[in-house]
A and B are shown apart, each in its own frame.
Chain A
């Protein structure tokens, strides 16, 4: 089983709202990733957690706040977003061992009004 699940599938929020995206995997993977994909562009890495610790932050604005409560779960907390943050947010996981193949979830389509 190589399934990564993401909820919700779609999210519409105002600029003053606080919301969270959720990602879950039950493959025993120890690395989890958040990517952002704007329309007609390739995915771009935002954050990486390894063994539940934040290991990479690609200079993402603080209005995006990741959290890894346990090895199976990854959240992305959103606050005071801008309309330009509207995008497909993708979660991925990998075993944290070479070769480190990443498996992606279906994504959350976020619209900021």
Chain B
């Protein structure tokens, strides 16, 4: 079973920030928080990851609470092309590989 819980869906207006929440209350100390998105029928696209600190890259920002039990992915200026299913996943490197267990994700709809 997935170790994260996300709302089923949300929408936002184009040009506005999209804040996607994720709960991971049972996260272990060595587990990273990863965010991927999947646009219809394409392969999942890596967005960002973090361990303890907040992270930002050209696509998004990741805010992780101090207790690491939840996080928020922020798309600062959503566009129509950001409409997708977004997956929040926690995973640890085992020494040889990592194992991603996808939950149902959150469907983000960006409206014009």
Chain A contacts to B: CB under 8 angstroms: 2, 4, 6, 31, 33, 42-45, 48, 50-51, 55-56, 88, 90, 92, 94, 96-107, 109
Contact = CB atoms under 8 A, between A and B. Distances in A.
A104 B96 contact: no
B49 A104 contact: no
Contacts of B42: 106-107
B98 interface: yes
B45 A104 contact: yes
Contact of B46 (A88, A101, A105): A101
Contacts of B46: 2, 101-104
Given A101-B34, A106-B42, A107-B42, A42 B96 contact: no
25 contacts: A2-B46, A4-B43, A42-B102, A42-B104, A43-B44, A45-B101, A55-B97, A56-B99, A88-B41, A92-B44, A98-B30, A98-B93, A99-B51, A99-B98, A100-B91, A101-B34, A101-B49, A102-B46, A104-B43, A104-B44, A104-B45, A104-B46, A105-B43, A106-B42, A107-B42
Interface of B: 2, 30, 32, 34, 36, 41-46, 49, 51, 87, 91-93, 96-105
Given A42-B87, A43-B44, A103-B46, A97 B93 contact: yes
Contacts of A94: 97-98
B30 to A, nearest CB: 8
A48 B34 CA distance: 19
Contacts of B100: 43, 45, 92, 102
Contacts of B102: 42-44
A90 B46 CA distance: 14
A6 B41 CA distance: 14
B44 A90 contact: yes
Given A42-B105, A56-B97, A94-B97, A99 B32 contact: yes
